[in-house]
Amino acid sequence: MSEDFKIPTMDEVMDGMNSLFGIIDLLDENYKMYDHNYLMRHMKNRGLSLREVFLSDMLDWLCFLGWGDGNIDVSEVNFINQLLHLNLTQMDVFEVVKNLDAKRLTTLPITFAIFIEYEAVSGNDMDVSIVEALYSLFFITGSYLIVADGNVDDNEVLGLKAYMDSLRVNIDTFNLESIHDYMLDQI
């Protein structure tokens, strides 16, 4: 299993983050142009930026995956801190994981829902789907995290694959008609 696992470089991870930040910042700055997007309007009405929502989703994802083997290595915490510009301890990561509810881990992260709605309602004039760029970023950050300790553990690889498979199903089956109910639970 682990022999087939491609380990991304930190440059690939940071390039993905920076590309997505560019898109997120553009949408944050021009959100009034997308006022017909229910999720973005709801998020802004709650005083949140898309960047904050994205960073929260990414933090939940990386803490969940990092703790997936029941332990979070200092190198994994360091990666999370470097990537998200935080200063967490191993105990902080444990607290994040402890406060995640099971539903949050099996439903579509809010950022994905916002991007799905954006692309469906506003169209996408970019060269690549924002949803697919975000999906790829979740995969490469997860891939980098599980090898940050210098060890490719088959259980962590399987956990990454299982989450990404579940995420793909959630993306493919997300129903825009139920968006109002979704938001009551998520933001």
Residues 159-173 have pLDDT tens digits of 899 999 999 998 998
Instruction: Name the percent of the chain lying above pLDDT 70.
Output: 84
User: CB 150: neighbour CB atoms within 10 A?
Assistant: 7
pTM over 0.95: no
What is the tens place of the pLDDT at every residue in 102-113?
Answer: 666 678 898 999
